[in-house]
Copies of this chain bind each other. A is one copy, B any other.
Amino acid sequence: MKDYLNIFKALSDENRLRILLMLKMRPLCVCEIYEVLNIALSTISAHLKLMKNIGLIEDEKEGRWVIYRLGKDNSFLHELLEALEKKLQNDQKILNDRIIISHTTREICALKLKEKQNI
């Protein structure tokens, strides 16, 4: 039962839910998620760590990025996200997230991040 409680707890936070729905589109590096959520990078790191620990997502190093993706072996999560995506078809925040992700790349987000940090 604990596994399922953990899944529901993960899904009950807005930022984590948005991350999962973004990862359903494609694998993402941390700075792409940052570009969308506008919360501290360390907060994103913490959310990702939590979801990795309970098997919802996986990571892999690729160049100087760490790429996160949905866990392959979690059919329950996949079914849940599939259902959620339909229910949230008209959710403005989710729609916006999708637009940003489909119009950007790791390279662009990395550049934007650098600019923000130089200000």
Contacts and interface: CB of A to CB of B under 8 A. Distances in A.
A8 B9 CA distance: 6
A79 B17 CA distance: 19
**What is the count of identical protomers in the complex?**
2
Nearest to A76: B87
A79 B88 CA distance: 16
Contacts of A76: 83, 87
Most interface-central of A12, A84, A91, A94 (chain B CB within 10 A): A12
A119 to B, nearest CB: 31
Contact of A9 (B4, B12, B93): B12
Interface in A88-102: 88, 91, 93-94
A4 B79 contact: no
Contact of A8 (B11, B79, B88): B11
Interface string A5-42: 11011011110010000000000000000000000000
Contacts of A8: 8-9, 11-12, 17
A46 interface: no
